[in-house]
Amino acid sequence: MRRVGKVLAIVGAMALLWAPTPARADGFVSPFAGVTFGSDDLEDKFTWGVNAGWMGAGIIGGEIDFGYTPSPFGDAVDNHVLDVMGNLIIGIPIGGQSGPGIRPYVTGGLGMIQTKIASGVSSIQDYDTKDFGFNFGGGVMGYFSNHVGMRGDVRYMRTISDDNLLDNGLDINLGSFDFWRASIGLVIR
pLDDT of 52: 97
Q: Is 2 among the domain residues? A: no
Q: Is 151 among the domain residues? A: yes
Domain of 134?
25-188
Q: Is 15 among the domain residues? A: no
- Residue 176 has phi, psi (to 5 degrees) of -90, -10
Q: Is 108 among the domain residues? A: yes
Query: Does 21 or 104 have the greater pLDDT score?
Result: 104
Tens of pLDDT, residue by residue over 65-85, are: 999 999 998 888 889 999 999
Is the Cβ–Cβ distance between 67 and 50 less than 8 Å? no
Total number of domains constituting the chain: 1
Q: Is 9 among the domain residues? A: no
Q: In sequence order, what are the beta bridge partners of 80?
A: 70, 116
Could you tell me the CATH number of the domain that includes residue 73? Answer: 2.40.160.20
Q: Is 160 among the domain residues? A: yes
pLDDT band of 113, cuts 50, 70, 90: very high
Q: Is 135 among the domain residues? A: yes
Tens of pLDDT, residue by residue over 132-178, are: 999 999 999 999 998 999 999 999 999 987 654 445 455 556 778 89
Q: Please, is 92 exposed, middle or buried when counting C-beta atoms within 10 Å of its C-beta (0-12, 13-18, 19+)? A: exposed
Please give the angle made by the CA atoms of 159, 164 and 170, to the nearest 5 degrees.
70
The answer on pLDDT for 45 being more than 60 is yes
Three-state helix/strand/coil letters over the chain: CHHHHHHHHHHHHHHHHHCCCCCCEEEEEEEEEEEEECCCCCCCCEEEEEEEEEEECCCEEEEEEEEEEECCCCCCCEEEEEEEEEEEEEECCECCCCCCEEEEEEEEEEEEEEEEEECCCCCCCCEEEEEEEEEEEEEEEEECCCCEEEEEEEEEEEEEECCCCCCCCCCCEEEEEEEEEEEEEEEEC
**What pTM did the predictor assign?**
0.78
Q: Is 6 among the domain residues? A: no
Find the mean pLDDT for residues 46-55: 95
